[in-house]
Amino acid sequence: MLPPCLKTCFVFSAQFGTSPVCTCCCSYARLGHWTPVVSSLSSTGLLNLNRTFSSTVCKLKRKKHSAEEEGVQGGADVHEDFDILEDSEVEELFQQQHILTKVGSEDHRVLVVHPDVKWGSKKPQLTTAELMMAEAVGLVNTLQNWTVLDKVILSTKAPDRRTIFGKGNFKILTERIKGKPQITAVFVNVERLSPASERELEEAWGVKVLDRYSVVLHIFRCNARTKEAKLQISLAEIPLLRSRLKDEVAKLDQQGGGSRYIMGSGETFMEVQQRLLKERELKIRSALEKLRKKRQLLRSQRKSREFPVVSVMGYTNCGKTTLIKALTGDVKLQPRDQLFATLDVTVHGGQLPSRMTVLYVDTIGFLSQLPHQLIDSFSATLEDVAHSDLIVHVRDISHPETLNQKVNVLNVLKNLQIPECLMNSIVEVHNKIDLVDNYEQSEPDAVPVSALKEQGLEELKQRIEAAIVKSTGKHILTVKVELSSAQLSWLYKEATVQEVDVVADEGTALVKVIISNAAYGRYRKLFQTN
């Protein structure tokens, strides 16, 4: 059957994933009653849509995730996927959004265009157009089955204008795109295109137009493994959908459709869509809030066991995961030569020279020119960083943009409102020194390493230990214990025992320990030593 307007629609439902509304006659479709003849939704998309609306979303169930706690106890690898949400609930929110994503699941042959601003306040610092182009190409190559077919750097005076380029360069670009019919998408290497600009460019070029936001979101989608990452990505998509909705409704209004009331509902089409988007956002936020609480709980458990936490941060692909693997010997970690390989926060136990156990937190990498909304969506996982005892900032010292990357990472950290004491105690690591001929240390405080070749790790561990001892207020003490009592086993359990010198005839031992104030207080109370 056809809708009352005898036209085919579903265009809105395809783009916004909300209840299907006919864009011509503004009636709700009852799925199954009429079928779109032309639709941008695939049949599976339609099925998903149907399922999405028929089920109740987000019934949160609490379950114990004992493996995590056990992992922390053993100082072993902890994958922080929380089991308080059903897989199906998260998948539903994630999939629902998937229908909406602009990029879809198809492969792309891409032309990358970098708008080069040569003068004025918008001219990027500490980098060049060629390096920015190389990064944009790297982003595309990260995606499986996507290929860069062509790339071009074109200058522009005002990248904010709708067509990005002036008339001349716009014409050159359009001809170049039209001359290569194999091209299926154009990636304009800017932080974010306005929906109007995106639409205008798509109309002019007849292919998909992407910006950094949509490409990075797509990479995130492909790499997300845990529920938290999936929900955070779904949240990051909301502003994108909202601005697209506005643009689409403005377009509809021109045809006299967007602000018409939907039969019997008392709401206009725009109002319905906005309400549904708001509802979705609330569901995601509420699910994330549950995970945040769980994360807080884990944090306090770690604190109570007094394992110092070291957050390993840095630009994407700088070698964070490789370094943690080298420091902990955790064979399960799989570094990949890929941007945003790590999206899910994981915790890995390792030992410092004094045998103190620390927990290394592997985090999502940073990238320049990323909208704050994207970072904000990951704030739940990044909250762990603010609560850690130390930040290790890993830099790929072999990268031509290493300085620019450092500035970017520090800026993001500042925006995350990391406590000042944590910012001031950052241990900077110069990684990948094996790739630099005649490496010379330019910053005296940085620790040079090759995580891959396992060079410089002992010095790094010592630096981490010294910084931890300072930041956690732990003391290194030598205490005399009675071997016949439980003192020694207590110290092994509650502190870090470094050395034991047994005085055989006395039945005592001199024990060197790293111990927190609180634990030392408990020790004295228990064993009444002076």
Ligand X SMILES: Nc1nc2c(ncn2[C@@H]2O[C@H](COP(=O)(O)OP(=O)(O)OP(=O)(O)O)[C@@H](O)[C@H]2O)c(=O)[nH]1
340 part of the interface to ligand X, by CB under 6 A: yes
Helix (H) or strand (E) holding 520: helix 517-527
Nearest CB to ligand X, comparing residues 169 and 346: 346
95 part of the interface to Mg ion, by CB under 5 A: no
Nearest CB to ligand X, comparing residues 287 and 449: 449
Nearest CB to Mg ion, comparing residues 341 and 390: 341
State the minimum distance, in angstroms, from the CB of residue 122 to ligand X.
Answer: 27
Nearest CB to Mg ion, comparing residues 273 and 342: 342
342 part of the interface to ligand X, by CB under 6 A: yes
From the list 19, 127, 214, 322, which residue makes contact with ligand X (rule: CB under 6 A)?
A: 322
State the minimum distance, in angstroms, from the CB of residue 289 to ligand X.
Answer: 26
Contacts 24+ apart (CB under 8 A), 21-24: 21/262, 21/269, 21/272, 21/273, 23/252, 23/257, 23/269, 24/257
State the minimum distance, in angstroms, from the CB of residue 78 to Mg ion.
Answer: 16
Residue type, 180: K
Contact call for residues 54 and 66 (beta carbons, < 8 A): no
Helix and strand counts by DSSP (H, E) for the chain: 18, 14
- DSSP secondary structure code for residue 171 in this structure: H
User: Which of these segments, 85-93, 109-117, 310-318, 499-507, binds ligand X (CB under 6 A)?
Assistant: 310-318
From the list 375, 386, 435, 457, which residue makes contact with ligand X (rule: CB under 6 A)?
A: 435
Write out the binding residues for Mg ion, residues 435-494 only, by CB under 5 A.
none
State the minimum distance, in angstroms, from the CB of residue 334 to ligand X.
Answer: 8
Contact call for residues 293 and 383 (beta carbons, < 8 A): no
Task: Return the CA Rg of the chain.
Answer: 28
Helix (H) or strand (E) holding 79: strand 78-79
End-to-end CA distance of the chain: 89
State the minimum distance, in angstroms, from the CB of residue 370 to Mg ion.
Answer: 16
434 part of the interface to ligand X, by CB under 6 A: yes
- DSSP secondary structure code for residue 262 in this structure: P
| Interatomic CA distance for residues 109 and 347, integer angstroms | 37
The DSSP bridge pattern shows strands 208-210 and 346-351 to be unpaired
Q: What angle do CA 238, 240, 246 make, to 5 degrees?
A: 100
Residues 6+ apart with CB under 8 A from 36: 8, 9, 10
State the minimum distance, in angstroms, from the CB of residue 491 to ligand X.
Answer: 36
Residue type, 320: K
State the minimum distance, in angstroms, from the CB of residue 395 to ligand X.
Answer: 10
Residues 6+ apart with CB under 8 A from 486: none
Residues in contact with ligand X, total (CB under 6 A)? Answer: 24
What does 117 bind: ligand X, Mg ion, none (CB cut-off 5 to 8 Å by kind)? none
What does 450 bind: Mg ion, ligand X, none (CB cut-off 5 to 8 Å by kind)? ligand X
What is the crossing angle of helices 212-223 and 227-254, to 10°? Answer: 140
Nearest CB to Mg ion, comparing residues 319 and 349: 319
- DSSP secondary structure code for residue 388 in this structure: S
Nearest CB to ligand X, comparing residues 9 and 224: 224
Nearest CB to ligand X, comparing residues 89 and 228: 228
What does 3 bind: Mg ion, ligand X, none (CB cut-off 5 to 8 Å by kind)? none
What does 71 bind: Mg ion, ligand X, none (CB cut-off 5 to 8 Å by kind)? none
Write out the binding residues for Mg ion, residues 218-257 only, by CB under 5 A.
none
DSSP of 40-73:
SS-HHHHHHHHHHHHSPP--------HHHHHHHH
Query: Exposure string (b/e) for 107-122, b if CB count within 10 Å is 16 or more?
Result: ebbbbbbbbbbeeeee
Write out the binding residues for Mg ion, residues 305-324 only, by CB under 5 A.
320-321
State the minimum distance, in angstroms, from the CB of residue 318 to ligand X.
Answer: 5
* Nearest alpha-carbon partner for 345 in 287, 284, 407, 299: 299
342 part of the interface to Mg ion, by CB under 5 A: yes
Query: Site mask, ligand X, residues 345-384, x = CB under 6 A?
Result: --------------------x-------------------
- DSSP secondary structure code for residue 38 in this structure: S
320 part of the interface to ligand X, by CB under 6 A: yes
State the minimum distance, in angstroms, from the CB of residue 65 to ligand X.
Answer: 23
Nearest CB to ligand X, comparing residues 102 and 393: 393
| Interatomic CA distance for residues 407 and 235, integer angstroms | 27
Residues in contact with Mg ion, total (CB under 5 A)? Answer: 4
From the list 100, 272, 310, 451, which residue makes contact with ligand X (rule: CB under 6 A)?
A: 451
Look at the block and give the residue holding tokens 């904010």.
160
Residue 415: what are its φ and ψ, rounded to 5°? -65, -25
State the minimum distance, in angstroms, from the CB of residue 236 to ligand X.
Answer: 17
Residue nearest to ligand X (CB): 365
What does 432 bind: Mg ion, ligand X, none (CB cut-off 5 to 8 Å by kind)? ligand X
From the list 232, 316, 402, 408, which residue makes contact with ligand X (rule: CB under 6 A)?
A: 316
Contact call for residues 459 and 317 (beta carbons, < 8 A): no
From the list 19, 95, 321, 404, which residue makes contact with ligand X (rule: CB under 6 A)?
A: 321
Nearest CB to ligand X, comparing residues 46 and 341: 341
Nearest CB to ligand X, comparing residues 337 and 420: 337
Contact call for residues 301 and 278 (beta carbons, < 8 A): no
Contact call for residues 449 and 429 (beta carbons, < 8 A): yes
Nearest CB to ligand X, comparing residues 152 and 435: 435
- DSSP secondary structure code for residue 119 in this structure: S
Query: Which residues contact Mg ion (rule: CB under 5 A)?
Result: 320-321, 341-342
Query: Which residues contact ligand X (rule: CB under 6 A)?
Result: 314, 316-322, 335-342, 365, 431-432, 434-435, 450-452
